[in-house]
Amino acid sequence: MAGTRWRSRPESRLRKVIKFGQKLTDDAVSMFIKLMGRLFSQSNNRKKQRHVFRRAKLALTHFW
């Protein structure tokens, strides 16, 4: 019994290391997706703001 216990320990350690690596990878991918979404959102907001500013500027130039 004790002999099989020692054999399974490196396997369980390896399993833990693999699961930990998978979790780190999943977390990194999730973080990347969130950051990319945030960047796209900021870019889209800036584009909308520029559009509003240009329309306001154009409207003012037509009236003056």
| Cα–Cα distances in angstroms (integers) from residue 26 to residues 5, 9, 16, 19, 22, in the given order | 31, 25, 15, 10, 6
Q: Let me know if residue 62 belongs to a domain.
A: yes
DSSP reduced 3-state for 1: coil
Domain that holds residue 50: 25-64
Q: Let me know if residue 11 belongs to a domain.
A: no
pLDDT of the chain, 64 residues: tens digit per residue: 455 555 568 889 999 999 999 999 999 999 999 999 999 999 999 999 999 988 888 888 877 6
* Rounded-to-integer distance, Cα 33 and Cα 55, Å: 33
Task: Look at residue 57 in the predicted model and tell me its pLDDT.
Answer: 85
Q: Kindly report the pTM of this predicted structure.
A: 0.61
Task: Look at residue 11 in the predicted model and tell me its pLDDT.
Answer: 87
* Rounded-to-integer distance, Cα 35 and Cα 39, Å: 6
